[in-house]
Amino acid sequence: MTTAPVETRRRVPLWQRIPVVHQLRQSVGLQRGMLIAGLVITGIFVLTALFAPLLAPYGYAQLKDADGVAFGAQQAPGGAHLLGTTVGGFDVLSRVIWGSQTALAVIIVAVILSIFAGVILGLLSGYIGGWLDRVLVVIADAVFAFPTLLLAIVVAIAVSGGQSSLWGGIFAAAVSITVVYIPQYFRVIRAETVRIKSEAYVESAKVVGSSTGRIMFRHVLRNATRSLPLLFTLNSSEAILTLAGLGFLGFGIQPTAAAEWGYDLNRSVTDVTSGIWWTSVFPGAAIVLVVLGITLVGESLNDLADPRLRTRRKSTAVPSPTAETSPELAGSDLAEEVAR
């Protein structure tokens, strides 16, 4: 009696298990095209923000060239100013490039603060429960009921305190966005914690005498944060729009402290009626493209995370005669398909 050789499973490299890389390998067709397009746009945005000092021909608040000659207001695109100048005499191309750096800084600070606060509160609320859970849920629902932009405006006014420095304005905008997004992370983590704390391995950890802190952060938290990358991408695009809305309404960062696309759009409103299109088109296009890129990544990850929406590859393998006649192999193939 001969035994069939046991087929060893090849270990997947670490870089292929990175969330975005794993989803990229898993995607096909339109989903892959959307994900690649979103990654390319987002990558260009991130690289532009990181290398803004090298890419921008002028400073974000620079009004004169190296010879001391003023740029002039509302200059048409061309020559030394490829995208023209604004009503305030700033170079449009430089403001757009430097604005990407401001947007990236606000996204990082706002989303990190939101994740930290929302995850901790959601973990405590879902695991401990009781009166703490009821109080936190009521507060989160109350904050979630406010209009997003209105709440961001109120918080920005309360936090800024007239500050016009670069990091002071970025922090004020980031905190105003953070308050808006904490309830979202709180709800997701709380729901996952409530589900996970009744699992068998959590009960086993209690039986062997593990401390509450170890169970919460070692066993529950590790399994409750799997959806955070998806929520991170979706909230990043919303943070761009919230930041632009604050700047457009005049509650964002001052133009002498940093470049901000929403403020530039606000200053270009009167230019549109005069036929001066370049002061509004390019900042507006930057907002649209960045939001589109991040949204494509988020929606693609959402589709790939849902088995009902995920497009599966068509199997191109031809079944062997042995597999057709052997019930054991047929049963193993069926079990493997169900496991997938």
pLDDT in tens, 157-192: 777 665 556 676 777 778 877 887 888 888 888 888
Could you tell me how far CA 287 lies from the centroid of its own chain?
Answer: 14
Q: pLDDT digits over 271-316, tens only?
A: 877 788 888 889 999 999 999 998 888 777 776 665 555 555 444 4
Amino acid 47: pLDDT: 94
Q: Do 89 and 73 contact (CB within 8 A), yes or no? A: yes
For domain 14-307, which CATH number applies: 3.40.50.2300, 3.40.190.10, 3.20.20.140, 1.10.3720.10? 1.10.3720.10
Q: Is a pLDDT exceeding 50 seen at residue 330?
A: no
Distance CA 10, CA 200 (A): 29
pTM given for the model:
0.75
Q: What is the pLDDT of residues 27-69, one digit of tens each?
A: 666 777 887 888 899 999 999 999 998 998 888 888 887 777 7
Residue 37: Cβ-neighbour burial (10 angstroms; 0-12, 13-18, 19+): middle
Asked whether 267 and 87 are in contact (CB, 8 A), the reply is yes
Q: With bands split at pLDDT 50, 70 and 90, how would you rate the model's confidence at 98?
A: very high
**Token pair 């890419």 is at which residue?**
55
pLDDT at 334 over 50: no
4 has a pLDDT exceeding 90 = no
Per-residue confidence at 335, pLDDT binned at 50, 70, 90?
very low
Q: State the Cα–Cα distance between residues 156 and 263, nearest whole angstrom.
A: 15
Domain layout of the chain by residue ranges: 14-307
Tens digits of residue pLDDT in 242-258:
888 888 887 777 777 78
% residues pLDDT > 90 (the chain): 8
The answer, yes or no, to whether residue 123 has pLDDT greater than 80, is: yes
If pLDDT is split at 50, 70 and 90, which confidence band does 155 have? confident
Q: What is the pLDDT of residues 72-88, one digit of tens each?
A: 887 888 877 888 888 88
